[in-house]
Chain A
Amino acid sequence: MSMQPTSERTLSVEVLARVEGEGGLHLSLRNGKVDDVKLNIFEPPRFYEAFLRGRSMMELPDLTARICGICPVAYQFSACMAIEDACGVTVPDSVHALRRLLYCGEWIESQTLHVYMLHAPDFMGYAGAIEMAKDFPAEVKRGLSMKKAGNELMTLVGGRSVHPVNTKVGGFYKMPSVADMLALRPALVQGLEDALETVRFTAGLEYPDFDRPYLYVSLRPETGYPIESGRIVTSRGDDWSVREFVEQVEEVHVEHSNALHGVLDGEPYVVGPLARYSLNFDRLSPLAQQAARDAGLGETCYNPFKSIIVRAVETVEAFHEAIRIIDSWVDGLPASVPVPPREGEGWGATEAPRGLCFHRYKIDDSGMVTDAQIAPPTSQNQPSIEGDLRELATEWMWMSDEDLTLRAEVAIRNYDPCISCSVHFLNLTVDRGCPARGRGGWWSVSGRPSAVTTRSGRPWRARSRDDWPTRRCRVSRWSNGTTRPRSSSCGPVARSAWCATRCGRGRPRARCTWCAPVRTSPR
């Protein structure tokens, strides 16, 4: 370990903890400057846009929901909006209201999960939520209780708590009754109380001074806080329809990521809680505004580490909005409108918990999808995440490797990145080399561990190119001087295990169409 600024330092985290999916981090510092920053997204591409072609437009909500188990509603509704746009159909207000309500459930689930289980341990000094729960059971129980309320709301409106089945192009299959809605109300009222407490809890944590000159992008509807609809606005004053925005944004491929990077006029931009909040503070309910002010937030927030407070404020808004919709609900409202197919193109965008999620589809006159484009929030945020890493490595270069690496990991978790969502390639244009083979493959050579400590404590070194461990095998040094493995899956893995862990197909590598050296089309 060396801390002189003239040294050469490389910091790597092979598999990031407490994010959705699998990604890594690579930072290299040379002569006191940041030389290279990479957020490695090596989870294999999923080819969603390719296999949606040829499917019926009516299948899109159910198919795209599977992109994410945390934010399925975002994909369902962005897809529905795009198809309704293509077919020239307007859904009734009752459908808008119920979509907003279901979306509140997703926000509650997702934001609470991130605040308590994934992000709070960073600020509290714990390796994870389980360790934190031993010392702060009340806080973790509160988080779980709020998430349960979100699950119940999703179940009531969507039919189940993950991947809802009640949504369709044109609306819903079934409207919930007033009686069912009111039965859920006490849980939501309690949830609102807990959410306000969560804002106070997060406001009491310590944050580094780290304001960044972000270009923010979010939806802004005619009324209310942006959730399920709106035009697209930016912090430099743009105001676009969803269609115009899609034309403005460029999605570029970089070698070290299986997720396309989104750029606006060649510049990074930020979507998500900070962008929504800073562009729509005036749209929050007075209750949420007051909670934010009491937490010391201004009307805008440019410190990414404080995103945890903003998520808590948005959770207040989601509970408050859910209660408002439930209280105004009446029975007998229309559940859906027919959507007759016609040839055309449609655009849709909604605010996933992690930020703007936009879809574009072309359909033929029978309603068959002929072209699809899906831009998840994490893809769009990647360049900004790397910008933050570059900035923080410059700012905190004096830190030890361990501390700087942890700070970098937290900076990534500030975005609540959903890696599994982001890996959408339209076409496979990269070399089909197995990840373990390096060189033009999906894994950058520098992104692999050089030495690891196995569970038994003995150091282990790779003997051959195929002998790398599949998971992070890093030993963390804690402030009290003790060390312990951060991941249990240390040690060498058999070659045949590659495909079980990397591309999920579970085949011995030589027989896997994804990882075999010869390129073959994915099924």
Chain B
Amino acid sequence: MVRTGPDQPPLTEGHAQEAGSHDFGLASAVELARALDRLPEVVVVGVEAQSFGWGEALTGPVADAVPAAAAEVLRVLQR
């Protein structure tokens, strides 16, 4: 889980980068918003992927992590 907001330190390198526009991802958007003084509190709950191969189902460890991630989202929303 990554938590950031206006009062938090910037996301470390590796999250935000300035390569091609194809690499302008969520972290770059967060850092751009911070630079423009428009950043709300942002909480990203994610599960790191294990496999990028072909297939329809989640891999075991990822599937196991989903309930915990979902519970975390609910906790964040309830606060």
Contacts and interface: CB of A to CB of B under 8 A. Distances in A.
30 contacts: A15-B19, A17-B18, A17-B20, A18-B18, A19-B20, A20-B20, A21-B20, A117-B24, A127-B18, A128-B18, A129-B18, A130-B18, A131-B18, A133-B35, A134-B35, A137-B36, A140-B32, A140-B35, A140-B36, A420-B22, A471-B19, A486-B18, A487-B18, A487-B19, A488-B13, A488-B15, A488-B17, A489-B19, A507-B54, A511-B53
Nearest to A23: B20
Interface of B: 13-22, 24, 28, 31-32, 35-37, 51-54
Contacts of A500: 52
A121 to B, nearest CB: 8
A103 B17 CA distance: 30
A96 interface: no
A472 interface: yes
Interface string A102-140: 000000000001000110000000011111011001001
B18 A455 contact: no
Given A130-B35, A137-B35, A420-B22, A489 B17 contact: yes
A507 B32 contact: no
Interface size class of A (residues with CB under 8 A): 35 or more
Contact of A130 (B16, B20, B22, B51): B16
B31 A130 contact: yes
A20 B22 contact: yes
A208 to B, nearest CB: 23
A70 B20 CA distance: 13
Given A507-B52, A507-B53, A18 B36 contact: no
A22 interface: yes
Interface of B, secondary structure class, is loop
Contacts of B17: 487-489
The 5 closest A-B pairs by CB, nearest first: A506-B52, A128-B18, A133-B35, A488-B13, A488-B17
A310 interface: no
Given A15-B20, A18-B21, A420-B22, A133 B36 contact: yes
A111 to B, nearest CB: 13
A486 B18 CA distance: 8
Interface in A12-55: 15-22
B77 to A, nearest CB: 28
A88 interface: no
A17 B28 CA distance: 14
B39 to A, nearest CB: 12
Contacts, number: 75
A485 interface: yes
Contacts of B14: 455, 488-489
Residue with the greatest number of chain B CB neighbours at <10 A, chosen from A118, A130, A455? A130
A276 B19 CA distance: 29
B49 to A, nearest CB: 9
Residue with the greatest number of chain A CB neighbours at <10 A, chosen from B14, B19, B22, B52? B19
A455 B13 contact: yes
Nearest to B12: A488
A118 B13 contact: no
A58 B15 CA distance: 41
Nearest to A70: B21
A472 B21 contact: no
Given A16-B20, A22-B22, A133-B36, 17 more contacts: A17-B18, A20-B21, A20-B22, A21-B22, A113-B21, A130-B16, A130-B28, A130-B32, A131-B18, A131-B35, A455-B13, A455-B14, A488-B13, A488-B14, A489-B14, A489-B19, A506-B53
Contacts of B21: 18-20, 70, 113, 117-118
A161 to B, nearest CB: 15
A70 to B, nearest CB: 8
Contacts of A507: 52-54
A160 interface: no
B13 A129 contact: no
Contacts of A439: none
Residue with the greatest number of chain A CB neighbours at <10 A, chosen from B18, B35, B54? B18
A485 B36 contact: no
B29 to A, nearest CB: 9
A495 B77 CA distance: 40
A141 B36 contact: yes
Nearest to B13: A488
A15 B19 CA distance: 8
Contacts of A128: 18
A133 B32 contact: yes
A20 B21 CA distance: 6
B9 to A, nearest CB: 15
Contacts of B32: 129-130, 133, 140
A508 B15 CA distance: 24
A304 B37 CA distance: 34
A117 B18 CA distance: 10
A472 B19 contact: yes
Contacts of A485: 13
Nearest to A420: B22
Contacts of B20: 15-22
Nearest to B17: A488
A489 B53 CA distance: 21
Nearest to A43: B22
Contacts of A455: 13-14
Contacts of A131: 18, 35
Nearest to B51: A506
B15 to A, nearest CB: 8
